[in-house]
Amino acid sequence: MANWKCGECGHTKDSRCKPKKCPQCGSSKGFAKAEEACETSE
């Protein structure tokens, strides 16, 4: 699974395939893979 981020509103979605349309804003501008920041505890 990948985390995808909407290029218009910033909504994130977990999905195997790249979404064609944002479920939040309806934009079809496209999604980009969102990099998840790993938190480390010291």
| pLDDT value of position 27 | 86
Count Cβ atoms below 10 Å from residue 31 Cβ, excluding itself: 24
Q: Quote the mean pLDDT of the chain.
A: 81
Q: What is the mean pLDDT of residues 17-29?
A: 87
**pLDDT tier at 9, thresholds 50, 70, 90:** very high
Rounded CA-CA distance 2/35 in Å is: 9
| pLDDT value of position 36 | 59
pLDDT at 17 over 70: yes
Full-model pTM: 0.67
What are the domain boundaries of the chain? Answer: 2-33
Sheet holding 12-15, edge to edge: 12-15, 2-6, 31-33
